[in-house]
Chain A
Amino acid sequence: MNSEERNKLEELLATLMESALSDSEQKELDQILQSSDEARDYYNDYIDTHIALDWHFGDQSLDLPSGLEPMINQPPEKKTLKFIAPILALAAILTLVFVLPKTEKPDESNLAQKDYTLLKSVSANWDKNQNFKVGDGFEKGKHSLKSGYCEISNGKGVKLIVEGPAEFDLVSPMKVKLEKGTIVAAVEEEGIGFQVDTPKTNVVDLGTEFGVSVQENGDTEVHVLDGKVETITGSNKKLINKSEATLITAKSTVAKAADAGKFMRILPEKPKEEISYIHWPLNEGQGKVSTYKGENLKDKDYDAYLKSTYANGNGPNWINGKFNKGVHFDGNGNYIETGFPGIGGAHARSVSFWVKIPKDVRTDQATSMLAWGSYLGKGRTWQVSWNWQAKDGNVGALRAGLYHGQIVGTQDLRDDKWHHIAVVMFGDGKPNVSTHILLYVDGKLEPASRKSILDVKTDIKSKKSTKVLMGRDAMAQIYGKKQHKVFKGSLDEVYIFNFALNDEQIRQLMEYNKFVK
């Protein structure tokens, strides 16, 4: 394609995107597209970008063909495609096995008489051996959260979620100075005017939710998740609106799109109603069936069946586990099948188990320790494994995969030692991988080496979903790829809960193999 053809092609595409081409223009386009692969590649990429933009920003131009309506049982007035997916996702959510727990909020009327009060805490580790409990007040002055998360309130319409490591100074009820780390402020009407100062700028809330992140060198990012804020940098004032962000360094100020995935916006609530869980102790030590225990489960066969992908295979071996017996998967066909569907939709959940992975394990023996769901769309799988590819984060580290999205921890688990694993997802709002899933290894919150953003909508309803598997890749199981992707390693004491476990519950499971409500 010469430059003249290239310019003409671009001109025609610019016109085509906004209106129709004339007959002669269409002929010109046809000729250019015939002329070279380069022209066709450009054309394909360009139109894909147009379609992707359409889809990304709301899909306004693609009407649902009327013929589809009766087939998917929709009310006739819902005519745009964007309505289909939420309805299907809703159907998946409606099929939860467990009774949905309601959540409770701390009673803020009983807060201690200090400017700020601790509302929630997740694996929070404070400097100088400080130990804040929920309901404790904070003195004015500097505080250092070495790791974990906490939610604090000024009792005047402002809630802050602090993500460690963070150093912050509680200056007054309406002002916090953030020296380092990340804070998300959710401000109600009463709290408008609340201010977060950083070494590079001051952020004044104008009725909103915003995230502020300060690096070691003082570089500051402000992301507005809702409403708007004003930043005051030197003598410059700047308004930042919803979905916008600004990066302020010593040399420059750069506008960006807000990235909600960078920030933890909620911390888990304590479940109020009865909770449910299933537990496979894997203690039989012989035979091909392992019975389940649990609370508030439907009366069904949820036993674990020890199997092999080979017709004459023996299935997993019984070994000495972390507590009593456990099972070993040889990475060559062994796996466990259960009749338990898992937790569906965006519902809160936790899994907890012990795993031992040999040092010489191959990357095709990573999936999975525990898995359920389907591959009928992004976010529909729930698969816990170790990470096998460097592009997603540290290889060998704990990985929770959702199909086209994952969160990966840091510690390499391939050391032939038992490790306690917990993966916890909060169920409020609209969970996605990065903001709502926490990984724990040996009772400690695992910093994520990398995470990607994706809505969680685990599919436990469709015929193409698999019930809970151990030691087997969910996709290989669903699509009958017999000898592919089986896990190599040992498992013991596998639990699945219908709510987000807290630190203490994880510790009790790890130390005593006991679930404490």
Chain B
Amino acid sequence: MAKEVSDEFSALLTASQPRIYGFIFKRVVNHDLAKEILQDTNLVICKKADDYQPGTNFIAWVFRIAHFQILSQRQKANSRPMLSDQTIELLSDTKEENIFDDKLSALNTCLQDLSTDNRQLIMKRYSGKFSVQQYAQESGKRENAVSKILHKIRHSLSKCIKLKLAEA
């Protein structure tokens, strides 16, 4: 069993969970696999907690650990497909991870610009109140059509977040 970590470390790690999950998911493009790797990554992070130098870039440190967990997953005999090494390498060049907090704040504002219907749909989808399948059945729409509406909302939110960050 892993040893106990300090409150501060737990707080840092907790606050970083969405970013670590995002980092992994972007590279393995599979929700279940991303969750498994997140779990392994968290364990390694806690085991190595003493290696972390307070005041240094925590996110960069945990992303390195996550990166190695993704690579080790790929080397397993029964490994599931994920993005190619080359693509993963290219994704690592981006700096998206550093502004996630700002994106979260911008999202809050952008959600207010959505129509009531779209806001309710996205809220229900992400608060786990229904699955796309359930909503499709209830609303008489095809699942594919519901996915497309959700995609359009995400697309417009992404655009809005980008604009807000550029304004700031």
Interface centre among A60, A71, A85, A259 (most CB of B within 10 A): A71
A65 and B26 within 8 A (CB):
no
Please, how many residues of chain B have a CB less than 8 angstroms from a CB on the other chain?
75
B116 and A255 within 8 A (CB):
yes
A88-B87 contact given A14-B147, A256-B112, CB 8 Å threshold: no
B4 and A71 within 8 A (CB):
yes
- Once bound together, how far apart are the Cα atoms of A18 and B1, in whole Å? 35
One of B8, B112, B128 near A376 (C-beta < 8 A): B8
Chain A interface residue number, banded = 35 or more
Q: How many A-B residue pairs have CB under 8 A?
A: 191
Taking CB atoms, residues of chain B closer than 8 Å to A72 are: 5, 10
Residues of A52-70 at the interface with B, using a CB-CB cut-off of 8 Å, are: 52-63, 65-68, 70
A47 and B22 within 8 A (CB):
yes
One of B6, B18, B39, B116 near A244 (C-beta < 8 A): B116
Residues of A447-472 at the interface with B, using a CB-CB cut-off of 8 Å, are: 453, 461-464
Cβ of B132 under 8 Å from chain A: yes
A44 and B91 within 8 A (CB):
yes
Cβ of B108 under 8 Å from chain A: yes
Cβ of B155 under 8 Å from chain A: yes
Cβ of A13 under 8 Å from chain B: yes
Cβ of A33 under 8 Å from chain B: yes
Cβ of B115 under 8 Å from chain A: yes
Q: How far is the CB of A260 from chain B (nearest CB, A)?
A: 12
Taking CB atoms, residues of chain B closer than 8 Å to A301 are: none
Cβ of B123 under 8 Å from chain A: yes
Taking CB atoms, residues of chain A closer than 8 Å to B2 are: 67, 70-71
One of A48, A58, A66 near B128 (C-beta < 8 A): A58
B29 and A40 within 8 A (CB):
no
Taking CB atoms, residues of chain B closer than 8 Å to A55 are: 18, 104
Chain B interface (Cβ < 8 Å from any Cβ of A): 1-8, 10-15, 17-19, 21-22, 25-26, 29-32, 35, 38-40, 42-43, 46, 54-55, 81-84, 86-87, 90-91, 94, 96, 100-101, 103-105, 107-108, 111-112, 114-116, 119, 122-123, 126-128, 132, 143, 147-148, 150-151, 154-155, 157-158, 161-162, 168
Sample of 11 further A-B pairs with CB below 8 A, known A52-B104, A85-B15, A464-B54? A13-B151, A15-B147, A48-B96, A49-B161, A65-B42, A71-B5, A88-B10, A257-B111, A257-B112, A462-B7, A464-B8
- Across the A-B interface, the 4 shortest Cβ-Cβ residue pairs: A65-B39, A60-B128, A14-B151, A57-B126
Of the A-B pairs whose beta carbons lie under 8 Å apart in the complex, a sample of 13, sorted by A's number, is A33-B87, A34-B90, A40-B90, A48-B100, A51-B22, A55-B104, A58-B128, A62-B18, A71-B3, A71-B4, A88-B14, A374-B8, A462-B6
